[in-house]
């Protein structure tokens, strides 16, 4: 290119001649050939870029799990099954000396059982998903079916904006404003009226100071509402008008139309969106670390302080590094591995449900 | 001051015996570093990085500003990352100086035997509380605090507290214990105090560490960082918490009280310049060459019972001689009683200077860095 262009550029002042015309013709032909070669290689480049891009996420997942497993290996060997069921979290004292178990060095007195953290992770996520799902479906329904466009558009935008607020900011709001408000004005009302029967007794006094399981779950719900509601609203917009109008013609109320036609129509999509939200709730770290109370226990009631896997990793990893034997860090890798496995299992389960429900077929006249 | 004058006296002798010393020292490959008259080696241009303790971080920033007034050729980067990260970074070379409130543990020294913990200044810890209506300084003992943190004393009006504070009208308010969620030098200090005050109680069951297995106490909360402790205590009437003395200003701003703690002689002492210095003096002769000693519950009659050395964690084997010299220069400046250890810097965070004897020991440790 540059050589050919160079000869043309050297004679700009010379008036056009037949020779020059021939030269430009040759140039154009060369240019075309180069373009052809580029185009051919371009498709190859694209193909390979695509192949690499599609492999990257899978490779990253396998890599992360493999590295976690390797790093966690000494901890898995020493902690054993007790790590899943035990409720002791004692780093041991590095000042007290080092001992060996199965050839793995660790501080004397080190004993780890992560059950309260596993339970806490599942509890906060369950609360978050139940509440967020109810709010999101209601929100999506209002945005797509009930509200006039001039309200629903800015409202929908505001809901999606919520997803962009950093979790540390939400955590700060939760610990300074939301938690204390709930503990002072909302929780006492719930706690005072709950009968002392199984399940509901979990909601009885004392209500604490606003840092705990329920506050954590509620804040998590707030964080995943945008994920679920924006997807659900998009899904609702895709439900054709005809079956809904048919339902109305048959004398169904608005609620019945929503309950029997709109929601079942997109059920698998809602489950998929919920799985996304659940994934976020399971792994959310900063907000939970700030408002869950960070106490290592299975919450004795729903207001009690507790902690989750992710929150514990972020708040205790610094200290784990002071364990010169590296055993504490290995234990945290094991904790991370458990969280990764929980996330993968949850996602696979959601996928299975989506697969099953999407085969069931819709209600009246699906695909009309 | 004594150290500098001693160095002055040594100068002729060192020059006189230089030929002999060099002949002996050089084959060993370790030319000994000697402190110049000014007390601070002149650094070459470059960068020294510091990470670690959030308690030492504000002071370190003050130090850097002062240090750069004289030695602008050296850039000192500081970061507040927590003591654990500071120690790890110093041992693997990510940072040149790690800051820690706690001395190195046996396991850390086994992992990296060339690490030095060098005392840089003296800090103390206060026990704060948020008890509405109580304006006086409450008297609290280690035994009582251990009972509170084990859930054996659960209200402020408990007779055990009332007995120590007969003139104070205590409300019938549940006690909410706060402890650190993250691993912390402050937890190390507080649990050391509880352990030493009740060796057969807290000391034998829970003991001391940067994180401990806290007993389950109803309503107990965990907070991250000193600022988290102050904020959490402010939001929670009935709370009791332990925070570094550099946060005293924030505690007072939040209108919370802090306790007079019982020392080993049975006296109830408030943290003050005098009581901290008295406690520090009682440990000056006992501080070993490697700086590793707990300054908790000392014998001083009027000493405040929870004080500690703030440590600079440095690997004595540095990658280059110029980095080693720069690190030495910064630390020599920091422990110098007329420079970094003067009240100009320390008073701003309520820290106290090192006793002369300890400072001489720190200089010896600093000169080991090569």
CB contact under 8 A, B209 and A94: yes
Q: What is the pLDDT of residue B20?
A: 43
Q: Are A229 and A235 in contact (CB under 8 A)?
A: no
CA distances from A259 to A234, A265, A266, B182 (A): 17, 10, 11, 47
| Mean pLDDT computed over every residue of chain A | 86
Q: Are B366 and B26 in contact (CB under 8 A)?
A: no
Q: Confidence class of residue A355 from pLDDT cuts 50, 70 and 90?
A: confident
Q: Are B142 and B156 in contact (CB under 8 A)?
A: no
What is the CB-side half-sphere exposure of residue B365 using CA atoms within 13 A? 26
Q: Confidence class of residue A18 from pLDDT cuts 50, 70 and 90?
A: low
Of A91, A180, A321, the CB nearest to B87: A321
Q: Confidence class of residue A26 from pLDDT cuts 50, 70 and 90?
A: confident
Q: What is the pLDDT of residue A47?
A: 87
- The whole model's pTM is what? 0.77
- Give the residue from chain A lying closest to B98, CA to CA: A322
The domain locations on chain A are 117-328
Give the span between the Cα atoms of A222 and A136, in whole angstroms.
Answer: 10
Q: Confidence class of residue A2 from pLDDT cuts 50, 70 and 90?
A: very low
Say whether residue B105 is in contact with chain A using an 8 A CB cutoff.
yes
Give the span between the Cα atoms of A318 and B84, in whole angstroms.
Answer: 5
Q: What is the pLDDT of residue B355?
A: 95
Report chain B's terminal Cα–Cα distance, integer Å.
Answer: 25
Q: Confidence class of residue A8 from pLDDT cuts 50, 70 and 90?
A: very low
Give the span between the Cα atoms of A290 and A306, in whole angstroms.
Answer: 11
Please, which residues have CB within 8 angstroms of residue A70's CB and are 6 or more apart in sequence? none
Residue pLDDT, tens place only, A281-312: 999 999 998 899 888 999 999 999 999 999 99
CB contact under 8 A, A324 and B105: yes
Using the CB atoms, write b or e for B250-280: b if 16+ within 10 Å. bbeeeebbbbbbbbbeebbbebeeebbbbbb
Please, which residues have CB within 8 angstroms of residue B163's CB and are 6 or more apart in sequence? none
Task: Please give the structure tokens belonging to residue B62.
Answer: 């003050």
Q: What is the pLDDT of residue A23?
A: 64
* pLDDT tens, per residue, chain B with 370 residues: 444 444 444 444 444 444 444 444 433 344 577 888 888 999 999 999 999 888 889 899 999 999 999 999 999 999 988 788 888 889 888 999 999 988 998 888 888 899 999 999 999 999 999 999 998 899 999 999 999 999 999 999 999 999 999 999 999 999 999 999 888 889 999 999 999 999 999 999 888 988 888 998 888 888 888 888 998 898 889 999 999 998 999 999 988 999 999 999 999 999 999 999 999 999 999 999 999 999 999 999 999 999 999 999 999 999 899 999 999 999 999 999 999 999 999 999 999 999 999 999 999 999 999 9
Distance between B52 CA and the closest CA of chain A, angstroms: 10
Give the containing element (helix H, strand E) for A153.
helix A149-162
Q: What is the pLDDT of residue B44?
A: 93
Cα dihedral B99, B105, B108, B109 sign: positive
Q: CA nearest A227: which of A163, A147, A182?
A: A163
Q: Are B294 and B149 in contact (CB under 8 A)?
A: no
Count of H-run helices and E-run strands, chain B: 15, 12
Rg (CA), chain B: 22
Say whether residue B75 is in contact with chain A using an 8 A CB cutoff.
no
Of B87, B176, B218, the CB nearest to A322: B87
Lowest mean pLDDT among A64-78, A333-347, B28-42, B336-350: B28-42
Overall CATH class of domain A117-328: mainly alpha
Residues of A in contact with B184 (CB under 8 A): 319
Q: Is the pLDDT of residue A139 over 60?
A: yes
- Give the residue from chain B lying closest to A315, CA to CA: B182
Q: What is the pLDDT of residue B326?
A: 95
Q: Are B281 and B66 in contact (CB under 8 A)?
A: no
Q: Is the pLDDT of residue A350 over 90?
A: no
- Give the residue from chain B lying closest to A324, CA to CA: B108
CA distances from A281 to A128, A200, A217, A337, B96 (A): 7, 24, 9, 17, 38
Q: Are B103 and B288 in contact (CB under 8 A)?
A: no
Of B111, B182, B220, the CB nearest to A324: B111
Residues of B in contact with A89 (CB under 8 A): 213
Of B83, B213, B219, the CB nearest to A89: B213
Q: What is the pLDDT of residue A15?
A: 55
Lowest mean pLDDT among A26-40, A221-235, B124-138: A26-40
Q: What is the pLDDT of residue B27?
A: 39
Q: Write down the residue that tokens 């990085």 correspond to.
A: B49
Q: What is the pLDDT of residue B254?
A: 87
Task: Tell whether ipTM is more than 0.90.
Answer: no
Lowest mean pLDDT among A31-40, A225-234, B310-319: A31-40
């Amino acid at each position: 290119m540059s050589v050919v262009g160079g000869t043309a550029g050297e004679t700009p002042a010379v008036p056009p001649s037949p020779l020059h015309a021939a030269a430009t013709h040759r140039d154009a032909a060369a240019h075309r050939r180069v373009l052809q070669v580029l185009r051919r290689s371009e498709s190859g480049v694209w193909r390979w870029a695509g192949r690499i891009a599609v492999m990257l996420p899978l490779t990253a997942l396998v890599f992360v799990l493999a590295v976690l497993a390797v790093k966690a290996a000494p901890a898995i060997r020493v902690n054993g099954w007790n790590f899943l069921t035990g409720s002791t979290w004692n780093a041991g004292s590095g000042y007290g000396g080092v001992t060996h178990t199965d050839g793995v060095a660790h501080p004397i007195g080190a004993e780890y059982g992560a059950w309260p953290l596993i339970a806490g992770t599942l509890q906060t996520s369950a609360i978050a998903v139940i509440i967020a799902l109810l709010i999101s479906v209601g929100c999506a329904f209002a945005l797509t079916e009930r509200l006039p466009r001039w309200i629903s558009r800015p409202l929908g935008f505001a809901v999606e904006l919520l997803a962009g607020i950093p979790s540390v900011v939400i955590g700060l709001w939760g610990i300074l404003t939301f938690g204390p408000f709930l503990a002072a004005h909302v929780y006492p009302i719930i706690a005072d009226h709950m009968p002392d029967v199984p399940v509901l007794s979990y909601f009885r006094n004392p209500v604490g100071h606003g840092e705990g399981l329920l506050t954590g779950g509620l804040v998590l719900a707030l964080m995943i509402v945008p994920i679920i509601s924006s997807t659900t609203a998009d899904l609702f917009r895709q439900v054709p008008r005809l079956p809904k109008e048919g339902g109305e013609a048959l004398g169904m109320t608005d609620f019945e139309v929503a309950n029997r036609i709109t929601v079942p129509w997109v059920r698998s999509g809602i489950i998929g969106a919920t799985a996304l939200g659940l994934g976020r709730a399971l792994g959310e770290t900063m907000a939970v670390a700030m408002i869950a109370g960070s106490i290592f226990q299975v919450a004795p009631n729903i207001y009690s302080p507790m902690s989750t896997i992710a929150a514990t990793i972020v708040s205790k990893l610094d200290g784990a590094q002071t364990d010169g034997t590296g055993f504490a860090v290995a234990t945290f890798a094991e904790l991370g591995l458990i969280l990764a496995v929980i996330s993968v299992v949850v996602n696979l389960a959601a996928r299975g449900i989506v697969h099953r429900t999407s085969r069931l077929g819709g209600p009246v006249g699906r695909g009309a | 001051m004594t150290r500098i004058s001693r160095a002055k006296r040594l100068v002729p002798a060192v020059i006189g015996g230089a030929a002999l010393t060099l002949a002996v020292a050089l084959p060993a490959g370790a030319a000994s570093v000697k402190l110049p008259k000014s007390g601070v080696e002149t650094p070459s241009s470059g960068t020294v990085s510091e990470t670690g303790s959030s308690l030492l971080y504000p002071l370190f920033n003050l130090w850097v500003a002062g240090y750069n007034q004289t030695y602008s050729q050296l850039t000192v980067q500081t970061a507040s990352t927590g003591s654990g990260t500071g120690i790890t970074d110093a041992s693997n070379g990510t940072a040149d100086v790690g800051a820690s409130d706690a001395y190195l543990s046996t396991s850390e020294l086994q992992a990296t035997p060339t690490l030095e913990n060098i005392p840089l200044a003296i800090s103390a810890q206060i026990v704060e509380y948020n008890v509405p209506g109580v304006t006086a300084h409450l008297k609290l003992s280690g035994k009582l605090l251990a009972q509170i943190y084990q859930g054996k004393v659960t209200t402020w009006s408990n007779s055990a507290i009332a007995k120590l504070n007969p003139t104070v009208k205590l409300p019938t308010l549940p006690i909410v214990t706060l402890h650190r969620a993250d691993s912390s030098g402050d937890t190390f200090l507080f649990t050391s105090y509880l352990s030493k005050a009740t060796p057969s109680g807290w000391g034998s069951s829970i003991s001391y560490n940067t994180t401990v297995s806290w007993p389950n106490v109803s309503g107990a909360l965990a907070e991250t960082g000193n600022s988290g402790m102050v904020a959490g205590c402010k939001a929670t009437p009935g709370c009791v918490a332990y925070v570094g003395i550099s946060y005293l200003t924030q505690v007072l701003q939040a209108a919370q009280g802090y306790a007079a703690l019982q020392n080993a002689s049975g006296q109830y002492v408030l943290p003050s310049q005098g009581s901290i210095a008295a406690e520090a003096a009682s440990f000056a002769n006992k501080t070993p060459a490697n700086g590793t000693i707990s300054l908790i519950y000392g014998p001083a009659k009027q000493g405040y019972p929870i004080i500690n050395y703030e440590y600079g964690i440095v690997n004595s084997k540095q990658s280059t001689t110029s980095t080693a010299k720069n690190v030495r220069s910064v630390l020599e400046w920091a422990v110098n009683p007329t420079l970094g250890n003067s009240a100009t810097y320390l008073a701003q965070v309520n820290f106290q200077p090192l006793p002369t004897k300890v400072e001489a020991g720190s200089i010896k440790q600093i000169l080991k860095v090569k």
